[in-house]
């Protein structure tokens, strides 16, 4: 329980070279660690958070991460950092641009998934760790892990990639496009310079979140929680939040701007839109030695099982050790944050598989 720490991992003398060729400095990273690194530095587990997460993994993922939990902090040295482009302590588009003394705004460079990985790798090196026992992440977090493992063989022994995707669908991108439209068309957006105007595109963020939140839930989850229940069944018809589902979504929307930044929303959703590692011309998986466990939830319609099966097929075609399990859960995409026994067992098992180094040198051909 060390609290969030910060490290400047790139500076003017050694800037972060982005995948576009642009340079960024300084890059500060907010991170937390849990547990103790063992003497041979072999028990580190990186947790990668989703779109709106932060470094406090034991808080937002307390169901999975903690003493005695599947990601057991009595056993593993757990590291979680806020993403590059984020707004929870790591450098992002609302950070101060040292060249101007003002927030970057839309002058912040567009990011590729590789750039997010570069910062996480720098943090791991900063902590003196060369090889991770595992990396575990859901949604955007899982996508980062996939990129990392594909690009840097030898660094991640086990990857647990949960309700992620290697290829957003047009509908996925459509939903984030609508969310971004709500933000950039908010008159308080000021072309990204809202900080200089002493404001923020609050309405845009509220609407973006209401819509996004719906897509993280399933029809079944919404039916169980709310169905058609009204706040006051005897009241006359009204536009106010009469149905419980409206009240809930409004609340989710209203609290969101308190904890999340509009520019980070733009940049990080865009990272996902462009993420398509298996469609890159120079993809070479011959050296990838990570053991992948892909998990999906049967009621997730944002990044459902078909996304995991696509990753599974591509990884196996590339000769990579990958398995997949679909978990039954009525709770949609949000399931990855919940305590679902079969899911937790799968994560614990995935962290316990023998490391690649201890396997036979030439594994049998993958079962496709």
Looking at the annotation, which residues are catalytic?
Answer: 139, 300, 333
- State which of residues 5, 14, 126, 185 lies at the interface with its own copies (CB under 8 A): 185
169/325 with CB nearer its own copies = 169
CA-to-CA dists, residue 193 to 59, 289, 335, angstroms: 32, 44, 36
356 to each of 60, 151, 284, how far by Cα in Å?
30, 17, 18
Residues 102, 263 contacting (CB under 8 angstroms): no
Q: Which of 45, 32, 55 is nearest to 77 (CA)?
A: 45
Q: Which is nearer to its own copies, 131 or 167 (CB)?
A: 167
Rg (CA), the chain: 21
Give the residue with the Cβ less far from its own copies, 162 or 217. 217
| Region from 27-35, 80-88, 200-208, 315-323 binding its own copies, contact rule CB under 8 A | 200-208
Q: Which stretch binds its own copies (CB under 8 A): 72-80, 124-132, 265-273, 350-358?
A: 265-273
Nearer to its own copies, 187 or 354 (CB): 187
What's the closest the beta carbon of residue 187 comes to its own copies, in angstroms? 6
What does the block give as tokens for 19? Answer: 């995948």
Q: Give me the 271-310 binding string for its own copies, x by CB under 8 A, dash otherwise.
A: --xx-x----------------------------------
The residues pairing with 297 across neighbouring beta strands, listed in sequence order, are: 327
For residue 344, the SS3 value is helix
For position 206 contacting its own copies by CB under 8 A, the verdict is: yes
- What are the angstrom distances between the C-alpha of 359 and each of 18, 69, 126, 364? 35, 26, 29, 11
**Is 334 marked as a binding-site residue?**
yes
Alpha helices (runs of H) in 202-340, residue ranges in sequence order: 202-216, 219-225, 244-259, 262-274, 305-317
Sign of CA dihedral 205, 210, 211, 212: positive
Of 13, 68, 232, 236, the residue at the interface with its own copies (CB under 8 A) is 236
- Subset of residues 19 to 78 that bind its own copies, contact rule: CB under 8 A: 20
Where does 86-169 have alpha helices with state H? 113-126, 140-151
CA 25 to chain centre: 23
Is residue 237 a contact residue for its own copies (CB under 8 A)?
yes
* Smaller CB separation from its own copies, 42 or 110: 110
Q: Does 106 bind its own copies (CB under 8 A)?
A: yes
8 binds its own copies (CB under 8 A): no
The site for its own copies (CB under 8 A) is made up of 20, 106, 110, 112, 167-171, 173-175, 177-178, 180-182, 184-187, 203, 206-207, 210-211, 214, 217, 219, 222-223, 225-228, 236-239, 241, 243-246, 249-250, 253, 266, 270, 273-274, 276
Annotated binding site for substrate: 209, 334
């Amino acid at each position: 329980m060390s609290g969030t720490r910060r490290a400047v991992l790139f500076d003017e003398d050694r800037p972060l070279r982005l995948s576009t060729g642009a340079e960024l400095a300084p890059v500060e990273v907010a991170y937390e660690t849990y547990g103790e690194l063992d003497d041979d530095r072999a028990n580190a587990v990186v947790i990668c958070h989703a779109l709106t997460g932060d470094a406090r993994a034991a808080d937002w993922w307390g169901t999975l991460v903690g003493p005695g939990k599947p990601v057991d902090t009595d056993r593993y040295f757990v590291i979680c950092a806020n993403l590059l482009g984020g707004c929870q302590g790591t450098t992002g588009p609302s950070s101060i641009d040292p060249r101007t003394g003002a927030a970057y705004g839309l002058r912040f460079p567009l990011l590729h998934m590789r750039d997010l990985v570069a910062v996480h790798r720098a943090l791991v090196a900063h902590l003196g760790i060369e090889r991770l026992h595992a990396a575990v992440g859901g949604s955007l977090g899982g996508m980062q892990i996939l990129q990392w493992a594909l690009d840097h063989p030898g660094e991640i022994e086990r990857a647990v990639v949960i309700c992620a995707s290697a290829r957003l669908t047009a509908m996925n991108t459509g939903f984030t496009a609508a969310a971004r439209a709500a933000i950039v068309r908010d008159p308080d957006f000021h072309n990204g310079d809202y900080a200089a105007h002493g404001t923020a595109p609050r309405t845009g963020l509220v609407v973006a979140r209401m819509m996004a939140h719906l897509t993280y839930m399933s029809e079944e989850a919404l039916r169980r929680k709310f169905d058609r229940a009204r706040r006051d069944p005897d009241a006359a018809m009204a536009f106010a939040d009469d149905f419980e589902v409206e009240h809930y979504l409004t609340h989710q929307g209203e609290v969101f701007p308190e904890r999340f930044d509009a520019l980070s929303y733009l940049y990080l959703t865009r990272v996902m839109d462009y993420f398509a590692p298996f469609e890159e011309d120079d993809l070479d998986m011959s050296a990838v030695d990570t053991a992948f466990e892909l998990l999906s939830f049967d009621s997730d319609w944002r990044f459902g099982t078909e996304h995991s099966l696509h990753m599974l097929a591509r990884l196996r075609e590339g000769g990579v050790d990958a398995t997949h399990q679909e978990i039954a859960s009525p709770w949609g995409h949000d399931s990855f944050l919940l305590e679902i026994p079969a899911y937790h067992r799968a994560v614990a098992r995935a962290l316990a598989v023998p490391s690649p180094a201890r396997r036979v040198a030439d594994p049998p051909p993958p079962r496709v």
